[in-house]
Amino acid sequence: MMDDIIEKRKSKRELIEMGYPREVVEDVYMRFRRAEYKRRQALPCVKITLKAFGIGWKMPIINHREG
């Protein structure tokens, strides 16, 4: 599921339509959003996937908007 969220930028609705349980999708998205601050504090690292978590990855961490 994380590959679908990060690499393919799937929405909650798309994941649910793919067959994932709604509760699991909501939980994973919540955990992912809450952990965003950790990525900003981390040191630069080696890119190991097609989607980099570097400067190109921007997700607001202060407005509490669910995405």
pTM of the predicted model over 0.75? no
Q: CA of 22: how far to CAs of 15, 19, 41, in Å?
A: 8, 9, 30
Q: How many domains does the chain have?
A: 1
**pLDDT higher than threshold 90 for residue 44:** no
Structure confidence at residue 48 as a pLDDT band (50, 70, 90): low
Q: Which two tokens stand for residue 24?
A: 């699991």
Q: 3-class DSSP state for residue 39?
A: helix
Range of the domain at 63: 1-67
Output the average pLDDT for the chain.
Answer: 76
CATH number of the domain residue 5 falls in: 1.10.10.1510
Angle subtended at Cα 49 by Cα 16 and Cα 63, rounded to the nearest 5 degrees: 55
Residues 37-64 have a mean pLDDT of 62
Per-residue pLDDT reduced to its tens digit, 5-40: 888 889 999 999 999 999 999 999 889 888 777 766
